[in-house]
Structure 1
Amino acid sequence: MKIYKLILAAPALLAPLLAGAEEWIIPRTTYYITAEQQKMPDFPAPPEPGSKADRADLSAVFAMQRSLKPGQCERAKMAAHADFENFFGDISPFPAPLPAEAAAIFRRVKTETDGAAADIKDKFKRKRPFLRDPGLKPCLGRIGGLAYPSGHATISRLLALMLADLVPERRAQFLARADEAALDRVIGGVHHPADIEAGKALADRLYPRYRKSGKFAADMKTLRGLLLKSKVKK
């Protein structure tokens, strides 16, 4: 009888776990800047749910889906994993393969940046487009996490700003690539346009704070020493 009751209860016990299977657990770090420095209480909110701007934001995702060109979704899938190599590997100013020291620095920057973005996501709790309208079929799949701001847009731009400091003459190229990475998230159906613009804005706010960090300055010095001189000018 006890076993029978446990079997009947199992779905109820598992439901919360299954419902949360797509939730993302994002660590918070304070290697470069403090938790207080990562807070942005004045960060702009996403469009008010149901407002004209909000409806236009969601409609833009549908419009993007209808106008997809061959290869766009495949490109978005290739950059689905947000890391330096996926964003900048083919235009990297570093030797190939990426030196281990550089890879470690970029991972550290990403972890801290992801945490700062997650704090804002948790504040606004904007759902991904496909959760708001079942008619949307995201080519990147029904991934977990919240929408605003886009973490991919944030980290791709922040890495681009780092590269622009390291190789100033290629600034436009790096920022353009970050813009492509951000747009891929709308192409993939997992973000609204406002989400990616917010991600870029967050990177623009975070980067000056990182630059004031002694640890960040030390990491940038290390990266500068690892540059492949033949790729500095292009």
Structure 2
Amino acid sequence: MEIKTLAATLAVALVTGACTTSPKVVAPTSAAEVGEVRAGSGYLKGYLATAELADSLALLPAPPAADSPAYAADTATFRNLTKQQGTPRGAMAVQDANLHFPEAASVFSCALGVQISEQATPNLNMLLRRTLTDAGLSTYKAKDKYVRTRPFVVYKTASCTPKEEAFLAKDGSYPSGHSAVGWAWALVLTEAAPDRADAILQRGRAFSQSRAICGVHWQSDIEAGRLVGSAAVARLHANPVFNAQMAAARDEIAKARATAAPQSPACATEAATISGSALTAP
């Protein structure tokens, strides 16, 4: 009798469950609805709570010691890559330094093959704006612990973004926040458009290398930043709003491709610039 009662109860539960649907997760596309990290900053709140951020201090070793081979390699790379300032690749590095939207939305447009904007692709645009915060903030446990001096300060040289030098001189160099952000963007966009993975990842790598060209990060900062960016994206996959926004962004990409105009000559120039600088970038 007990088995029959249990079976009947399960049957009712199954029927009831089949008629009940989970509430649909809505991913906001309005900056006003999401809100800023700090009023007037232009940076939106991320998907992750502070306790959910990747722990860069736990993930990373200490930066290279001044008498180590790794530090010598950092120095050699600094001298090598900063020579590209004033070239077309240097101009790209200046553009890559700008994390503010709407300008930053265009960074991956050529690699993706779709113009990214708040108007044309609101979910894709929001995906980038919010993951920027999650990846960037994930670097600060290690930044605040090590407070590594940036190369342009050590060698008393100019960077390619002189207006930011006063702030950067006080902000820890290790790991690179820009590198974490750029690599997180590349991973997110690769997931949204896997057929464009090679071009997107190449652009993500170039974005992070731009920080060495500008002289504001050591190569080890950049490599550590990529690791933190990867960890941030891994954390994001447990967030339902991120996943909903990702699904909506995929749909936007598909629709945009269906009506896309031919890529501008600027995209061919960008690809050639990245390819041409690859020989001198480690």
Partner in structure 1 of residue 51 of structure 2: 35
1:180 to 194, 206, 230: 206
List aligned pairs for 1:178-217, cutoff 5 A.
Answer: 178-217=204-243
Is 1:87 the equivalent of 2:107?
yes
TM-score normalized by structure 2?
0.65
Partner in structure 2 of residue 221 of structure 1: 247
Partner in structure 2 of residue 7 of structure 1: none
1:38 alignment partner, SS class: coil
Structure 2: runs of 5 or more not aligned: 1-40, 264-282
TM-score normalized by structure 1?
0.77
* Post-superposition offset of 1:107: 1.2
List aligned pairs for 1:49-88, cutoff 5 A.
Answer: 49-66=66-83, 70-82=87-99, 84-88=104-108
List aligned pairs for 1:27-176, cutoff 5 A.
Answer: 31-32=47-48, 35-40=51-56, 41-66=58-83, 70-82=87-99, 84-95=104-115, 97=117, 98-134=120-156, 136-141=157-162, 142=165, 144=168, 145-176=171-202
User: Whole-Å Cα distance in 1 between the matches of residues 209 and 87 of structure 2?
Assistant: 15
Evaluate the alpha carbon distance shift between residue 148 and residue 96 of structure 1 in structure 2; reply closer, same or farther with a 3 A threshold.
closer
User: Whole-Å Cα distance in 2 between the matches of residues 139 and 229 of structure 1?
Assistant: 35
* Post-superposition offset of 1:51: 2.7
* Post-superposition offset of 1:30: 6.3
- Mean alpha-carbon deviation: is it higher for 29-38 or for 142-151? 29-38
* Post-superposition offset of 1:91: 3.2
- Identical positions, percent: 26
User: Whole-Å Cα distance in 1 between the matches of residues 229 and 195 of structure 2?
Assistant: 20
Evaluate the alpha carbon distance shift between residue 99 and residue 67 of structure 1 in structure 2; reply closer, same or farther with a 3 A threshold.
closer
Alignment size in residue pairs: 207
User: Whole-Å Cα distance in 2 between the matches of residues 229 and 56 of structure 1?
Assistant: 43
- Mean alpha-carbon deviation: is it higher for 196-205 or for 36-45? 36-45
User: Whole-Å Cα distance in 1 between the matches of residues 224 and 130 of structure 2?
Assistant: 22
User: Whole-Å Cα distance in 2 between the matches of residues 27 and 70 of structure 1?
Assistant: 30
Evaluate the alpha carbon distance shift between residue 36 and residue 107 of structure 1 in structure 2; reply closer, same or farther with a 3 A threshold.
closer
Is the contact made by 2:181 and 2:229 (CA closer than 8 Å) also made in structure 1?
A: yes
Largest Rg, 1 or 2: 2
Is the contact made by 1:38 and 1:206 (CA closer than 8 Å) also made in structure 2?
A: yes
Aligned alpha-carbon RMSD (Å): 2.8
- Mean alpha-carbon deviation: is it higher for 143-152 or for 179-188? 143-152
Is the contact made by 2:111 and 2:203 (CA closer than 8 Å) also made in structure 1?
A: no
Is the contact made by 1:33 and 1:213 (CA closer than 8 Å) also made in structure 2?
A: no
* Post-superposition offset of 1:89: 2.7
* Post-superposition offset of 1:70: 2.6
Is the contact made by 1:87 and 1:178 (CA closer than 8 Å) also made in structure 2?
A: no
